Structure 1
Amino acid sequence: MLKKLLYKIEWEALMWLTALIYLFLINPYEAQHLTFCPYKNIGIEFCPGCGIGKSISLLYHFDFINSFHTHPLGIFALVILVYRIFHLIKQKYFNKKREVVYG
């Protein structure tokens, strides 16, 4: 029973959806947030990906100008993540392959 339930869950879509919900719930105007960036954690200041999460969070708060200034690819990243979630769900639950019967 548990094995069937674990098989039915689309884990990647759940992970991305959880991340987007987290970005919705945080306050992007606070100075410090939890970071998973290995560059920031070891003290390197420049990271090309840093700021995308804050940019997406600012988009949720309809602050488009600050979102773009935080990271120009934030809008693009949000569109790609939402597309990926829908694609994974569609592929897992709605894309039933038809069996071809020969003979």
Structure 2
Amino acid sequence: MGYYQNKNLALMKKIRQMVKLVEWEALFWSAGLIYLLFINPYESSHFTVCPYKNLGIEFCPGCGLGKSISFFYHGDFLHSFNTHPLGIIAFVIIAVRIVYLIRNKYFNNKQNEVMYG
């Protein structure tokens, strides 16, 4: 039994190390932007995860952001702005966030870090 426990512990340690290698927030935002790249923004019906829309509430300040970013990807800047005026700004903020997260995770220079003790 001890042999299998040691093997399982080693496997779990490897899995933990692999999970630590991934920047999960950057992966989440990247997957969202990639999804918006491949959808057709000109379709009238699309899948929504908006809780307001799903509850039947008409007004939602964030509705249209995804479609606006998709129009932006397709080069239709006028439709992008008309769908949601903050869509292009949201895209820039998300892209900068992804770069920031990846840079801090994988390219963080610790030369400026001061060690005490």
**Interval containing the TM-score (normalised by the shorter chain):** over 0.9
SS of the equivalent of 1:48 reads: coil
Q: Partner letter of residue 24 of structure 1?
A: L
- When structure 1 is superposed on structure 2, of 90-99 and 48-57 the one drifting more is 90-99
Question: Is 2:67 aligned against 1:57?
Answer: no
Using structure 1 for the length normalisation, give the TM-score. Answer: 0.94
Q: Larger relative contact order (C-alpha < 8 A, sep ≥ 6)?
A: 1
Say if 2:72 is the partner of 1:71: no
Superposed, 1:1-103 pairs within 5 Å as 1-98=14-111, 100-101=114-115
Q: Which moved more, 1:10-19 or 1:90-99?
A: 90-99
Matches of 1:101 and 1:36, distance apart in 2: 46
- One-letter identity of the residue aligned with 1:9: V
TM superposition shift of 1:101 = 4.6
Q: State the alpha-carbon separation in 1 of the partners of residues 82 and 103 from structure 2.
A: 34
Q: Which ranges in structure 2 are unaligned for 5 or more consecutive residues?
A: 1-13
Identical columns (%): 62
Structure 1 position 102, deviation (Å): 5.3
Relative to structure 1, the CA distance from residue 94 to residue 48 in structure 2 (aligned partners, 3 Å threshold; closer, same or farther) is: same
> Residues of 2 paired with 1:53 and 1:33: CA distance?
11
The structure having more radius of gyration, on CA atoms, is 2
TM-score where L is the length of structure 2 = 0.83
Please tell me the root mean square deviation across aligned C-alpha atoms, in Å.
Answer: 1.3
Q: How far does the alpha carbon of each residue in 1:21-80 deviate from its partner, in whole angstroms, 9 at most, with x for none?
A: 000010000011111110000101110000000000000110000000000000100000
Say if 1:4 and 1:43 are closer, same or farther in 2 by CA, change over 3 A: same
Q: What's 2:6 paired with?
A: none
CA shift, 1:89, in A, is 0.3
